[in-house]
Structure 1
Amino acid sequence: MTFPLRRLSAGCLAIAMAGAMLSPAFAQAPQPAKSQAAAEAEAKRPKIESFTLENGLQVVVLPDHRAPIATQMVWYKVGSADETPGVSGIAHFLEHLMFKGTKTHKEGEFSNAVSAIGGEENAFTSYDYTAYYQQVPVEQLKEMMGFEADRMENLVLTDEVVLPERDVILEERRMRIDNDPGAQLSEAVDAALFQNSHYGIPVIGWRHEMEKLSRDDAIAFYNKYYTPNNATLLVAGDVTLDQVRAMAEETFGKVKRRAEPGERHRPQEPEPRAERTVTLSDPRVTQPSVQTTYLVPSENTAKPSEAESLDLLADILGGGATSRLYRALVVDQGIAAGTGAYYQGTALDDGQFMTYGTPRGEATLEQVEKAVDAEVAKIVREGVTPAELEAAKNRVRKALIYQRDNQASMARRYGAALSTGQTIAEIESWPDRIEAVTVDQVNAAARTYLQKKRSVTGTLLPASVESSAEAKAPDGSPAAAGAVDPTAGAPVSGDTRS
């Protein structure tokens, strides 16, 4: 089971990255803030509604009547950053265990039912939430609700179930982290950036702690957090509010409220004081790369206009083939195979702003790093232009339109935002807040947050070279020849998943 985004998920980052992959032509023809046609289309969009069951479960309905299918997502407001110190990985481990049997249904019955009707299912764990997903013909929605409600309260965990699955997650760590130098570097960068926050601990967990995870750990975590008053049910598809309400009351409404998780008080980051660097050399590395990650506020912690400004700043600086980084490093200087920037803002606590680059041809990684830093320094010093800002807003408008065309993407956007402290009204007003951002606000965000003392620079090198001054693209590679997609080269963001 896979899902593409790690920490944030479908708020600003998803839209910004989607915008980065749109045609460069979109950036060349600024349009009015909202055309009459766009306003009319917006008015016709079905209203998103919400209600809360007596047991505390929030239910959100996103109508989409274009096809007779429905997407159900259950989001628990708990992720790896909520774990007790010493049991890292328990949130992800429980995600695996939720696919085991319950008092009512034996192991595999739920997944087999989804498969038998041609549906899709998924699950993912992040720092701030854990979610479970099915997309099925709409007539099977109530059955899916019954299965999901059942495992919310009736999960059966024995040592015979738990211990073999612990071996599975340890093997998953071996495959995805221990065998991937890039993933190891990302872990090291996160640990250096987040010195006090639990965001510095990998979602999958540290191996020495994973090896000790027990049945009692899983049951305690399940009993505390997997209660309806700590969850959100999102249903997107060919449904009405009344239909969803009736089905939810008959299924989820019968689940007892069995715990009070309370407020999510977590260790917070102190104000950064020093630039940090992390270098990893490995014989398996063929393409060297560099990434610089800045500690910035998230949508949940930012002052008014800051998160929106950071989102647009990332687009202008490194959001695709029309961005400053791409034009400077790939087109003009010809030294980078891939480069860009993005903002991860959908988080309960701090967010991240990242730049990255990989060398091309005879250029060294050191040259690429210096060129990226020069573009960042330039945008901090000189600011963005009105034309650049309008072009970025235009790309975001179009990206949001594409996102609304996908049930799962929309449910993901709302689920991630609701699980990290936002309201439906705040999610809905996001496009208007983007439109209201000014040049001065973007420039202020750049000056405030793109400071080296707020950053960690991670460098990935082949074992055959001693420093980034010697690291180049491998001979004969597409990167060396320059045949690279404009969005290639970004460090992969991915949930630790089943």
Structure 2
Amino acid sequence: MKKSILSLTSAVLFVFSTNAQKVEFEEYNLDNGMHVILHQDNSAPVVTTSVMYHVGAKDEQPDRTGMAHFFEHLLFEGTQNIGKGEWFKIVSSNGGRNNANTTDDRTYYYEIFPSNKLELGLWMESERLLHPIIKQGGVDTQNEVVKEEKRLRVDNQPYSRFLEYVKVNMFKKHPYKGTTIGKMKHLDDATLKEFLAFNKKFYVPNNATLVVAGDIDVNATKKMIQDYFGPIPRGENIIRTNIKEDPITEQMNAKGYDPNIQIPAVMAAYRTPSMKTRDSRILDMISSYLSSGKSSVMYKKLVDTKKMALQAGAINLSQEDYGTYILYALPQGETKLKDLVKEIDEEIVTLQSDLISEKNYQKLQNKFENNFVNSNSSVEGVANSLARYNVLYGDTNLINTEIDIYRSITKEEIREVAKKYLNPNQRLILEYLPEKK
């Protein structure tokens, strides 16, 4: 019976591998330093135009947090040729949709149009880069928008501040200690001159990667890109400071408070290496093993079997400079937070001592194969992946080869990486508690 199960697993892996088509792309630089990536997929009359800027919350001044996220909003205000409030109307009236998002490491804008509107998408993104209107009125408008977003997503959402508390305790020097949305006072205090300076520094072609993916004619697309983006002046080179954190050598303990919760939580957080490392990918696998789905190790133990927790899981927050690995649980009934930590630690010690079973190892491989196929199943997903791998990893072809790294990870490596990073003297224990109003 066991042999039959393994044979079936191998067959599933083979199907995933054969269905995972190689993503063909072409990349080159414009004279102004903008990096361009083209992916042709004529299977549907759809095209994605996107631009990823290598600027995020970590690039802000300590007393001006929230700038990168603020610009994500501000640069929809309009341009010299797109009126205030017209951006979204133009997109929707032409059968498209668009959005943007910001992390600690980058800011990403994209439009998805019928393929006969490709030129419109390119023009709009070139307008955002070349002719943005940054005036006090727009700053004031978006300031209120960001404040409302913070109220909805952070101030009034249960458990929404746990990452904020983890990061501020985990990082002492690196700007990852802040939040992407930043402090509202910093945005209130920022002058128009500072907003203009931020735009001039980071929103330049040599800090941007343009991706066009979908139903395109490559030669015609190249000409349009040259026409719309080629004349944009190159910006000054951006000098980045590589800020190093001191190693964590003894357990840190902290508390965080949330007025929106009644049930506390506990987090064990560990500082881990850059997402570009092999170890970070192994931690992805460990996270999946411990907490992906109701059949995962931690959920079955703490929630189903012992009924000590309402929820339990693991998060591998992979970022460009460092990662943060978080194990968490919410107690059920009279369970103490320290008892949840004890149970979590027992599971980690088992992982550090014994190899995971062949069955669980094959389940992990299947999951990552499935994730790989799904991430490249649409031109929208492909565009995002191409931009991300280029900007944050410096290797666009990881869209095709990163899965090989996961395939090559062994059970022995999983054990050794757990030993290397997930130790009590290398962590933060955060008690996340209800705040009495």
TM-score normalised to structure 2 length: 0.91
Whole-Å separation in 2 of the counterparts to 1:51 and 1:27: 44
Q: Which amino acid aligns with 1:66?
A: S
Identify the match of residue 315 of structure 2 among 342, 357, 377.
342
CA contact (8 A) 1:27 1:392 kept: no
Identify the match of residue 48 of structure 2 among 67, 71, 75.
71
**Residue 234 (structure 1) shift:** 1.5
Q: Which residue of 1 aligns with 2:246?
A: 270
CA contact (8 A) 1:389 1:439 kept: yes
**Residue 39 (structure 1) shift:** 4.9
Q: Which amino acid aligns with 1:319?
A: S
Q: CA deviation digits over 1:397-418, x for unaligned, max 9?
A: 0121122223323322332232
Is 1:330–2:303 an aligned residue pair? Answer: yes
Q: CA deviation digits over 1:31-54, x for unaligned, max 9?
A: 26952x555444x54512212222
Is 1:409–2:381 an aligned residue pair? Answer: yes
Q: Which residue of 1 aligns with 2:397?
A: 425
CA contact (8 A) 2:272 2:421 kept: yes
Q: Which residue of 1 aligns with 2:265?
A: 289
Whole-Å separation in 2 of the counterparts to 1:410 and 1:372: 37
Q: CA deviation digits over 1:59-110, x for unaligned, max 9?
A: 1123333321112211001111011232111111222210122222211222
Whole-Å separation in 2 of the counterparts to 1:154 and 1:206: 28
The 5 A counterparts of 1:123-142 are 123-142=100-119
- Cα distance change, pair 198–438 in 1 and its aligned pair in 2 (3 A): same
Q: Which residue of 2 aligns with 1:442?
A: 414
3-state DSSP of counterpart to 1:70: strand
3-state DSSP of counterpart to 1:429: helix
Is 1:224–2:196 an aligned residue pair? Answer: no
Q: Which amino acid aligns with 2:187?
A: M
**Residue 129 (structure 1) shift:** 0.5
Whole-Å separation in 2 of the counterparts to 1:41 and 1:179: 43
Q: Which residue of 2 aligns with 1:207?
A: 184
Whole-Å separation in 2 of the counterparts to 1:404 and 1:378: 35
Whole-Å separation in 2 of the counterparts to 1:64 and 1:327: 42
Structure with bigger RCO (C-alpha 8 Å, 6+ apart): 1
Q: Percent identity?
A: 27
**Residue 156 (structure 1) shift:** 1.7
Is 1:158–2:158 an aligned residue pair? Answer: no
- Gapped regions of structure 2 (runs ≥ 5): none
- Cα distance change, pair 28–319 in 1 and its aligned pair in 2 (3 A): farther
Whole-Å separation in 2 of the counterparts to 1:258 and 1:331: 56
Identify the match of residue 377 of structure 1 among 336, 349, 358.
349
- Cα distance change, pair 266–460 in 1 and its aligned pair in 2 (3 A): same
Whole-Å separation in 2 of the counterparts to 1:104 and 1:399: 41
Q: Which residue of 1 aligns with 2:370?
A: 398
Is 1:143–2:115 an aligned residue pair? Answer: no
Identify the match of residue 280 of structure 1 among 250, 256, 262.
256
3-state DSSP of counterpart to 1:424: coil
**Residue 175 (structure 1) shift:** 3.5
3-state DSSP of counterpart to 1:320: coil
The 5 A counterparts of 1:452-471 are 452-463=424-435
Q: Which amino acid aligns with 1:438?
A: T
Q: Which residue of 1 aligns with 2:149?
A: 172
**Residue 164 (structure 1) shift:** 3.4
**Residue 447 (structure 1) shift:** 0.3
Q: Which amino acid aligns with 2:263?
A: Q
Q: Which amino acid aligns with 1:312?
A: M
TM-score normalised to structure 1 length: 0.81
Whole-Å separation in 2 of the counterparts to 1:314 and 1:46: 27
Whole-Å separation in 1 of the counterparts to 2:200 and 2:396: 28
Whole-Å separation in 1 of the counterparts to 2:233 and 2:394: 25
- Gapped regions of structure 1 (runs ≥ 5): 1-25, 465-498
3-state DSSP of counterpart to 1:317: helix
* Greater mean deviation of Cα atoms: 281-290 or 309-318: 281-290
Equivalent pairs, count: 433
Q: Which amino acid aligns with 1:384?
A: I
Q: Which amino acid aligns with 1:206?
A: K
CA contact (8 A) 2:161 2:258 kept: no
Q: CA deviation digits over 1:286-319, x for unaligned, max 9?
A: 333222221111222x3xx322221211111222
3-state DSSP of counterpart to 1:169: helix
Q: CA deviation digits over 1:243-269, x for unaligned, max 9?
A: 43222112122322132223x223221
Whole-Å separation in 2 of the counterparts to 1:371 and 1:29: 34
Q: Which amino acid aligns with 1:439?
A: K
3-state DSSP of counterpart to 1:88: coil
* Greater mean deviation of Cα atoms: 370-379 or 175-184: 175-184
CA contact (8 A) 2:16 2:369 kept: no
3-state DSSP of counterpart to 2:167: helix
Q: Which residue of 2 aligns with 1:53?
A: 30
Whole-Å separation in 2 of the counterparts to 1:399 and 1:441: 21
The 5 A counterparts of 1:254-265 are 254-262=231-239, 264-265=240-241
The 5 A counterparts of 1:465-484 are none
CA contact (8 A) 1:298 1:344 kept: no
Whole-Å separation in 1 of the counterparts to 2:288 and 2:23: 29
- Cα distance change, pair 348–45 in 1 and its aligned pair in 2 (3 A): closer
**Residue 195 (structure 1) shift:** 1.2
Q: Which amino acid aligns with 2:430?
A: G
Is 1:315–2:288 an aligned residue pair? Answer: yes
CA contact (8 A) 1:320 1:340 kept: no
Identify the match of residue 10 of structure 2 among 16, 31, 35.
31
- Cα distance change, pair 243–456 in 1 and its aligned pair in 2 (3 A): farther
Whole-Å separation in 1 of the counterparts to 2:313 and 2:8: 22
CA contact (8 A) 2:41 2:214 kept: yes
CA contact (8 A) 2:212 2:383 kept: yes
Q: CA deviation digits over 1:383-430, x for unaligned, max 9?
A: 423432222011110121122223323322332232213311334211
- Cα distance change, pair 155–283 in 1 and its aligned pair in 2 (3 A): closer
**Residue 340 (structure 1) shift:** 1.7
